[in-house]
Amino acid sequence: MPHSPEEKKRAVTRLRRIRGQAEALERAIEAGTDCGPLLQQIMAMRGALNGLMAEVMESHLRETFGPGHAPADQKQDSDPDGAIDGVMKILRTYLR
């Protein structure tokens, strides 16, 4: 998860934008909006979620593989393949 105040602010801003998009989509569906505009809004939300996912994934990778940023539950000399397996598990889940 983002740790610096700037990273947290960016993540919260993205989440608020996504929430606003979801609320607008709900209103559009309730109003009987045509499918084309609904799909466009859904794609915009997907783009915003992908952007958030990329930011959080970057933060996770930097924490996992960056110099001096070994997670507390891992030893400095831990197997890097295990860390890669963990990241790949997250990516595979996301890409389903």
The CATH number of the domain holding residue 74 is 1.20.58.1000
Distance (Å, rounded) from C-alpha 86 to C-alpha 82? 6
How far apart (Å, rounded) are the C-alpha atoms in residues 7 and 10?
Answer: 5
Query: How many structural domains compose the chain?
Result: 1
**pLDDT average per 10 residues of sequence, the chain (96 residues):** 81 93 96 96 93 85 75 57 82 77
pLDDT value, residue 21: 96
Backbone angles phi, psi at 30, to 5 degrees: -60, -30
The two tokens of residue 74 are 């891992």
Q: Read off the pTM.
A: 0.71
Q: Between vectors from CA 54 to CA 71 and to CA 79, what angle results, nearest 5°?
A: 30
Contact by Cβ (8 Å): 43, 52: no
| Structural domain range at position 38 | 5-95
